[in-house]
Amino acid sequence: MAHEITVRQNGTAEAAFAMMPAWHGLGAVLDHPMSSREALTAAQLDWLVVQQKLGRFSEHTDGGGEWREIHGMKANVRGDTGLFLGTVSDAYKVVQNTEAFEFLDALVTEGQMTYESAFSLSGGRKVVLLGRLPGVDQVVEGDDLLRYVLLSLCHDGTGAIKFGPTSTRVVCANTYRIALDKDGDRMTSMDELSISHMGDVRSKLERAREILTAANQQFDVHAAASRELAKRKLSVAEWMQYLDIMCPELDEHDPDWTERRADAIARTRLSVRAAYHNERQSIEGIEHSAWAAFNAVVEHIDHLPRRGATRQQKAEARFNVCLYGAGRDMKRRAFDAACRFAGLAV
């Protein structure tokens, strides 16, 4: 899978990043956190999605034909280039890129939402915004957590508006999704924070304000739990017990045992053990703690080399594993296990 960043005919990319360039080297890079207007302009996302009638040409036996409208369906196209984005139903409500920025801006009542990245994929079929919320959560001095929200739009009709919170540990740029509790059920996946393009989209977006309020509360809970994990020191035996929970060695009597699998597990254990003892887990106040153990697992997941024919493909695979699927689930399990060692409810 290539980077898929939209590149215009003039060679410029529809992407903007704050402070640092992205792994693919495309897009504008600003030397400061971006406002929504700066991000929209720098990423060249100030185009509109327009809807057009959809039809087909019916050929007659005498060689003639006629164009017939397909009722109940429309075509989403870019207003600036006319590029076809996708087929949608009449019930589909377009949310423009500008509206998405305005929505995220409106979620913050104190301080300002700033943007670290904004880009479109596949010609504009998908638009992604990463906004940073005000405030920094400190676990110990020198170990800070930043709060972000990730929002994506699918203009091709293949997906919903997706919205969710993400936290980043500054010291090593590790990322993990923040779980939300709703009606007693844990919500950990972006898919569960989806807003469909059907019905009253405006009211659904307003409902996301409630989600962010819950997310901010969960950020507070997560930061407090992280501080407790940093206080809980692990003995050598407890650290090995934690490692065995997260990555148990393969017994030779296991019917699924193969030398290849055993070697892969051994390499994983070695990687996590090395991360547990590196300088990032040796910051004063967190060394040999349940917090260091959790972050050793997270660091292994985030920095493990991924498959791909090119550097871009490997980097994108790493991004997907960091925030979605098995990588996300393993991080959640690692955090829950660390909480159990610290005697915290999960």
Per-residue pLDDT at 293: 97
Per the structure, the complete domain to which residue 322 belongs is given by 232-341
Q: What is the mean pLDDT of residues 68-94?
A: 91
Which of residues 185, 204, 222 is at a domain's end? 222
pLDDT of 119 over the 80 cut: yes
What b/e sequence results for 292-308 when a residue is b if at least 16 CB atoms lie within 10 Å of its CB, and e otherwise? bbbbbbbbbbbeeebee
Which of residues 174, 195, 222 is at a domain's end? 222
Residue 270 domain flag? yes
Q: What is the mean pLDDT of residues 123-131?
A: 90
Interval 229-239: pLDDT, tens: 999 999 999 99
The confidence band for 2, taking pLDDT boundaries of 50, 70 and 90, is: very low
Per-residue pLDDT at 181: 46
The confidence band for 304, taking pLDDT boundaries of 50, 70 and 90, is: low
Q: How far apart are CA 32 and CA 35, in angstroms?
A: 9
Q: What is the mean pLDDT of residues 296-318?
A: 63
pLDDT of 177 over the 80 cut: no
What b/e sequence results for 85-119 when a residue is b if at least 16 CB atoms lie within 10 Å of its CB, and e otherwise? bbebeeebebbbbeebbebbbebbeeeebbbbbbb
**Cβ atoms within 10 Å, residue 5:** 18
Residue that has been written with the tokens 């996302």 in this structure: 45
Residue 1 domain flag? no
Element (DSSP H or E) covering residue 174? strand 174-177
Model's pTM, two decimal places? 0.72
Residue 61 domain flag? no
Domains: count for the chain: 2
More confident residue, 117 or 242: 242
Which of residues 169, 188, 222 is at a domain's end? 222
Interval 14-72: pLDDT, tens: 999 988 766 567 788 999 989 999 999 999 999 999 999 887 766 666 666 677 778 88
Q: Please, which residues bridge with residue 57 across strands?
A: 67
Per-residue pLDDT at 189: 35
More confident residue, 116 or 306: 116
Whether residue 183 is found in the same domain as residue 276: no
Interval 188-213: pLDDT, tens: 333 346 677 777 766 766 666 676 77
Q: What is the mean pLDDT of the chain?
A: 82
Instruction: Establish how many alpha carbons lie within 13 A of residue 38's alpha carbon, considering only the half-sphere containing its beta carbon.
Output: 17
Q: What is the DSSP string of 239-259?
A: HHHHHHHHSPPPPTTSTT--H
Q: What is the mean pLDDT of residues 294-320?
A: 64
Whether residue 135 is found in the same domain as residue 237: no
Per-residue pLDDT at 216: 75
Whether residue 25 is found in the same domain as residue 155: yes
pLDDT of 13 over the 50 cut: yes
Per-residue pLDDT at 110: 64
pLDDT of 324 over the 70 cut: no
The confidence band for 76, taking pLDDT boundaries of 50, 70 and 90, is: very high
Whether residue 177 is found in the same domain as residue 218: yes
pLDDT of 164 over the 90 cut: no
